[in-house]
Amino acid sequence: MKLKLLNTLILVTLLISCRKDNPYKNLKTEFVIIVVIDGPRYSETWGEINHTYIPYQSSLYNQGVLFANFQNTGITSTTPGHTAIVTGVNQAIDNTGQELPANPSIFQVWRKEKAGAASGAWLICSKDKLAVLANSTDPSWSNQYMPLTNCGLGGLGLGTGYRDDSTTFVEVLNILNQDHPNLALVNFREPDYSAHQGNWQAYLNGITQTDNYVSQLWSFIQNDPIYKGKTTLLITNDHGRHSNGIANGYLGHGDDCHGCRHISLFALGPDFKGNRTISKSYEQVDIASTVAYMLRFKLPKSKGVIMRELFE
């Protein structure tokens, strides 16, 4: 009798530990694409009551999950924001492309842990300086397991200058079509680019133009036989912009005002029930941890958490 009880106990313990060891078994995601729309304020995106400037994402709301209290908690500039997203660590990294991230990115760790080919991880950016995201100063990771990059003019990377988002979008479709990477990050330079020039109308147009690219990208994914039903698309920002009345308002960013910190995350994919808004506060580093979870690898240096509500 005692032995039977002991056997039952062992069996129950085994069953519980199996479930713990395999938390991924129900995930359908095999591919993750992150789109970073550079520098809109929440007040002109999801925070605008009629979603006037993001009609395309707004029409996808019933399929997606919106994080309404998503934050940049580090330095509210482009390279630091992107670095937090891909490494899971807020780092006071140089914003001009003169410094590499101190920690390995999701691209490098994915390639190492999953024995992924270089063409399985892509960095496709309008801003040339973001090519730094491919590498790390960590001696264990420096020049190893790097993703392929197509950043800046001609896709040639550091020092070539910014290119138009329309060019980046063509590159995105070509690369996804050809390589079907498991993990890709896309950076669009608008609306940040026009806002810095003080052109309010072009800033709003930049929000809507990038919104349109996101919608076309989601359509591409839904119509692609490899990506369909297996791909998560995360749409977020590197930083916001100053709230009205702070410094030069929407023209600038970089401090800790509400407008600079408050950004958005909208998630579409086969593992989420749509038509939901999550009000719990999350931050950029949580994207790195959540992407690692969805692609079934560990990211030990990340300070982020897995955004469990996504999967409920």
Residues of this chain that interact with Zn ion (CB under 5 A) are 38-39, 78, 192, 238, 242, 255, 257, 260
Nearer to Zn ion, 78 or 83 (CB): 78
What is the spatial distance between Cα 38 and Cα 209, in angstroms, rounded to a whole number? Answer: 12
Determine the 3-state secondary structure of 235 from DSSP: strand
Question: For residue 281, what are its two tokens?
Answer: 């506060």
Nearer to Zn ion, 182 or 209 (CB): 209
In the complex, the smallest distance separating the C-beta of residue 72 from Zn ion, rounded to whole angstroms, is 10
In the complex, the smallest distance separating the C-beta of residue 257 from Zn ion, rounded to whole angstroms, is 3
In the complex, the smallest distance separating the C-beta of residue 54 from Zn ion, rounded to whole angstroms, is 17
- The bridge status of strand 262-268 relative to strand 64-71 is antiparallel
Nearer to Zn ion, 130 or 295 (CB): 130
Output the DSSP codes for 121-190: EEEEESSGGGGGGG--S-TTTTTSSPPEEEESGGGB-TTS----HHHHHHHHHHHHHHH--SEEEEEEEE
Nearer to Zn ion, 180 or 242 (CB): 242
In the complex, the smallest distance separating the C-beta of residue 9 from Zn ion, rounded to whole angstroms, is 56
- Rounded to whole angstroms, what are the CA distances from 38 to 14, 74, 247? 48, 16, 19
In the complex, the smallest distance separating the C-beta of residue 173 from Zn ion, rounded to whole angstroms, is 23
The tokens 């996101």 sit on which residue?
A: 214
In the complex, the smallest distance separating the C-beta of residue 112 from Zn ion, rounded to whole angstroms, is 28
In the complex, the smallest distance separating the C-beta of residue 121 from Zn ion, rounded to whole angstroms, is 22
What is the spatial distance between Cα 56 and Cα 98, in angstroms, rounded to a whole number? Answer: 36
Nearer to Zn ion, 68 or 257 (CB): 257
Nearer to Zn ion, 85 or 217 (CB): 85
Overall residue count recorded for the chain in this entry: 312
What is the spatial distance between Cα 40 and Cα 203, in angstroms, rounded to a whole number? Answer: 8
- The bridge status of strand 31-38 relative to strand 276-278 is unpaired
Nearer to Zn ion, 227 or 266 (CB): 266
